[in-house]
Amino acid sequence: MSSHGYTMITVARCDAGYLGQALEHLGVLAEELKRQAGVAAARFGVISTGEHAGSLILFQVSDELNGIDRAFDVYASSDTYKALVGSGKLDVTLRNIAKMEDLGLPNPSSELPAYGVLSK
């Protein structure tokens, strides 16, 4: 069973011409979050369908709720985050923190998923 209890999900609208650069920045930011805030996992991509289609999405997984606080400390000191937000081409539209529970599947896959589905 996984012990990673909290996930922060951030959605940001992004100018289409800036999308490639924004994804590069998110790759660097994800590594900063892992290294400096101790997040257990950081994943990012582009939402394909629904109300936020075309928006960027960032998932940060922390074992404890205070890991989310440490992530904001990284945002405050990160030149990469400042470049993303300061570009004027990206606008955070949604941010939520979810408490995650293991489903206890008897035979969980060891493969890294390529897609995720969020429903509200």
Listed by start position, the domains of the chain span: 9-99
Q: What's the pLDDT score for residue 39?
A: 93
CA distances (Å), origin 114, targets 8, 31, 43, 94, 120: 19, 19, 10, 22, 21
Q: What's the pLDDT score for residue 104?
A: 75
pLDDT tens readout for residues 49-62? 999 999 999 999 99
* pLDDT at position 88 over 50: yes
Q: What are phi and psi of 102, to 5 degrees?
A: -70, 135
Please tell me what DSSP assigns to residue 65: T
Question: Mean pLDDT over all residues of the chain?
Answer: 89
pLDDT tens readout for residues 25-84? 999 999 999 999 999 999 999 999 999 999 999 999 998 888 899 999 999 999 999 999
Q: How do 56-62 and 6-14 pair as beta strands? A: antiparallel
pTM, two decimals, is 0.84
**Fold held by 9-99:** Alpha-Beta Plaits (3.30.70)
* pLDDT at position 1 over 50: no
Q: What's the pLDDT score for residue 100?
A: 80
Q: What's the pLDDT score for residue 3?
A: 55
Greater pLDDT, 102 or 17: 17
Q: What's the pLDDT score for residue 106?
A: 80
Taking the C-alpha atoms of residue 13 and residue 2, their distance in angstroms, rounded to an integer, is: 31
